[in-house]
Amino acid sequence: MSRQTLIVGNWKMHKTIAEARDFVLALLARDDCFVPEVRVAICPPFTALEAVSELLGDQSKIALGAQTMHWATSGPYTGAVSAPMLVEVGCTYVLLGHSERRSYNAETDEIVNREVKTALEHDLIPIVAVGETLAEHKAGQAKERVVAQTLAAFDGVAGEQIARCILAYEPIWAIGSGLTEDPASANDVMGTMRGCREALHDVPILYGGSVKPANARALIAQENIDGALVGGASLEAASFAEIAINARRAVQSR
Ligand code: 13P
């Protein structure tokens, strides 16, 4: 089975509702970046989800995702947003376990695991992010770290449920730094991630960390790199569209 290629924009804490609308209109106008081989999704901040969802309507070019969610479906969790709320607003995907959530919001492997289970119960597709720190990278512990995070995220999750998920390898030192993991090395780590549970065999694994139009093609040409999770370069429709176009080139030249 060939795996779906995906380009996912994680806007993080960027864009007002008006700016989000402008982006969506600009991206929808870029017909050259939408092809069946490459799925395009954006993850705006919570405040812009409804406006973006309304603009997207029932078109199938751009899918909608959220940047996080709580593992509980409701309750006394001030500031949190639940899976049913994301489903209601039109999300297909939810990012879980992003390193910024892990470090600034104390999300542990156990919390990520609970979030994954809740997302799946509500038919959201989790995009589970894992990655090693610079110190771990330098110590040659990247594979060990990401395998541990991957196994923990899917602990107690049945194989057929895992098969519905997406994984993302984001070396923490590559995020927002302009440094990108060498494509062959990233592919090697991602191949090891894929091998840690049988059910991950056909699961798309995205690379994230300073993905730009200039490096997207070489990364996605790798056997185990099924797309990109893009931060900074997803904030402009032009650069995000270029990444999707380069993903298509990579897929077509495989
Ligand atoms: P950058 O593309 O800005 O490095 O961010 C990557 C990221 O964290 C996407 O989730």
> Is 107 noted as a catalytic residue in this protein?
no
Q: What separation in Å is there between the alpha carbon of 202 and the centre of ligand 1?
A: 24
Q: Who's near 38: CB < 8 A, 6+ residues apart?
A: 5, 6, 7, 227, 244, 247, 248, 251
162 part of a folded domain: yes
Q: Who's near 87: CB < 8 A, 6+ residues apart?
A: 122, 123, 124
- From the candidates 107, 115, 132, 170, give the one annotated as an active-site residue: 170
96 part of a folded domain: yes
Q: CATH number of the domain at 203, please.
A: 3.20.20.70
Model pLDDT for residues 104-160, shown as the tens digit of each residue: 999 999 999 999 999 999 999 999 999 999 999 999 999 999 999 999 999 999 999
72 part of a folded domain: yes
Q: What is the full DSSP assignment across 68-90?
A: ---SSSSSS-TT---HHHHHHHT
236 part of a folded domain: no
Q: Ligand 1 in contact with 230 (CB < 6 A)?
A: yes
pLDDT at 135: 96
Model pLDDT for residues 165-208, shown as the tens digit of each residue: 999 999 999 999 999 889 999 999 999 999 999 999 999 999 99
135 part of a folded domain: yes
Q: How far apart are CA 8 and CA 237, in angstroms?
A: 12
Ligand 1, atom nearest to 98 Cα: 10
234 part of a folded domain: no
Q: How far apart are CA 200 and CA 150, in angstroms?
A: 10
Q: Ligand 1 in contact with 170 (CB < 6 A)?
A: yes
Range of the domain at 69: 5-229+242-252
Token pair, residue 246, equals 């380069």
Q: Who's near 248: CB < 8 A, 6+ residues apart?
A: 5, 33, 35, 37, 38
Q: Ligand 1 in contact with 175 (CB < 6 A)?
A: yes
Ligand 1, atom nearest to 100 Cα: 8
190 part of a folded domain: yes
Cross-strand partners of 225: none
Model pLDDT for residues 19-74, shown as the tens digit of each residue: 999 999 999 999 999 999 999 999 999 999 999 999 999 988 999 999 999 999 99
Token pair, residue 143, equals 């594979």
The domain total for the chain is 1
- From the candidates 70, 98, 132, 181, give the one annotated as an active-site residue: 98
Residue among 151, 51, 55, 53 nearest 110 (CA): 151
pTM of the model: 0.97
140 part of a folded domain: yes
> Is 14 noted as a catalytic residue in this protein?
no
